[in-house]
Amino acid sequence: MAFAKSLFISNLRNGAAPERHADTVVKFGGIQDFGADLLLPNKYTGYAFLLDGDGRVRWRASGHATEPELDGMVRAANALRDGA
Protein backbone atom coordinates (compact mmCIF):
# COMPACT_ATOMS: atom_id res chain seq x y z
CA MET A 1 0.00 0.00 0.00
CA ALA A 2 2.88 2.40 0.73
CA PHE A 3 4.07 2.10 -2.88
CA ALA A 4 0.61 2.98 -4.20
CA LYS A 5 0.44 6.01 -1.91
CA SER A 6 3.87 7.20 -3.05
CA LEU A 7 2.95 6.74 -6.70
CA PHE A 8 -0.36 8.56 -6.25
CA ILE A 9 1.26 11.51 -4.46
CA SER A 10 4.02 11.68 -7.05
CA ASN A 11 1.43 11.85 -9.84
CA LEU A 12 -0.47 14.59 -7.99
CA ARG A 13 2.72 16.57 -7.42
CA ASN A 14 3.78 16.27 -11.06
CA GLY A 15 0.33 17.35 -12.27
CA ALA A 16 0.03 20.42 -10.04
CA ALA A 17 1.87 23.71 -10.27
CA PRO A 18 4.61 23.95 -7.62
CA GLU A 19 3.02 27.06 -6.09
CA ARG A 20 -0.11 24.97 -5.33
CA HIS A 21 1.77 22.26 -3.39
CA ALA A 22 1.60 24.11 -0.07
CA ASP A 23 -2.20 24.47 -0.43
CA THR A 24 -2.83 20.78 -1.05
CA VAL A 25 -3.61 18.12 1.54
CA VAL A 26 -3.84 14.43 0.77
CA LYS A 27 -5.36 12.04 3.33
CA PHE A 28 -5.17 8.26 3.14
CA GLY A 29 -7.24 6.07 5.41
CA GLY A 30 -9.23 7.00 8.47
CA ILE A 31 -11.90 8.63 6.34
CA GLN A 32 -14.63 7.46 8.71
CA ASP A 33 -13.14 9.74 11.37
CA PHE A 34 -14.35 12.85 9.59
CA GLY A 35 -16.31 11.62 6.55
CA ALA A 36 -19.70 11.65 8.25
CA ASP A 37 -19.24 15.24 9.46
CA LEU A 38 -18.33 16.37 5.93
CA LEU A 39 -21.16 14.35 4.35
CA LEU A 40 -18.82 12.30 2.15
CA PRO A 41 -21.02 9.69 0.48
CA ASN A 42 -18.14 7.81 -1.17
CA LYS A 43 -14.82 7.21 0.53
CA TYR A 44 -13.19 6.30 -2.81
CA THR A 45 -13.82 9.68 -4.45
CA GLY A 46 -11.63 12.77 -4.22
CA TYR A 47 -13.24 15.87 -2.74
CA ALA A 48 -12.32 19.56 -2.75
CA PHE A 49 -13.38 21.96 -0.01
CA LEU A 50 -13.21 25.73 0.35
CA LEU A 51 -13.03 26.76 4.01
CA ASP A 52 -13.55 30.16 5.56
CA GLY A 53 -11.25 31.66 8.19
CA ASP A 54 -13.14 29.80 10.93
CA GLY A 55 -12.68 26.43 9.23
CA ARG A 56 -16.29 26.17 8.05
CA VAL A 57 -16.93 24.51 4.69
CA ARG A 58 -18.23 27.15 2.28
CA TRP A 59 -18.00 25.18 -0.97
CA ARG A 60 -17.37 21.54 -1.82
CA ALA A 61 -17.20 19.35 -4.89
CA SER A 62 -16.08 15.96 -6.07
CA GLY A 63 -15.13 14.38 -9.36
CA HIS A 64 -14.22 16.20 -12.56
CA ALA A 65 -15.11 19.90 -12.28
CA THR A 66 -17.32 21.60 -14.84
CA GLU A 67 -16.92 25.26 -15.79
CA PRO A 68 -20.04 26.33 -13.81
CA GLU A 69 -18.72 24.50 -10.72
CA LEU A 70 -15.33 26.19 -11.03
CA ASP A 71 -17.01 29.56 -11.51
CA GLY A 72 -19.05 28.96 -8.35
CA MET A 73 -15.94 28.08 -6.36
CA VAL A 74 -14.14 31.20 -7.60
CA ARG A 75 -17.15 33.38 -6.70
CA ALA A 76 -17.24 31.83 -3.23
CA ALA A 77 -13.48 32.34 -2.74
CA ASN A 78 -13.73 35.96 -3.88
CA ALA A 79 -16.67 36.59 -1.54
CA LEU A 80 -14.70 35.15 1.39
CA ARG A 81 -11.64 37.21 0.45
CA ASP A 82 -13.73 40.37 0.21
CA GLY A 83 -15.43 39.70 3.55
CA ALA A 84 -18.90 39.00 2.20
Residues forming a β-bridge with 57: 51
- Write down the domain spans for the chain: 25-84
Tell me, what amino acid is at 41? P
Q: Does residue 70 or residue 35 have the better pLDDT? A: 70
pLDDT digit string, tens, across residues 9-63: 888 888 888 888 887 777 776 767 777 777 777 777 777 888 888 888 888 888 7
d(CA 21, CA 67): 23
- CA-CA distances (angstroms) from residue 55 to 12, 26, 72? 24, 17, 19
With a threshold of 0.85, does the pTM exceed it?
no
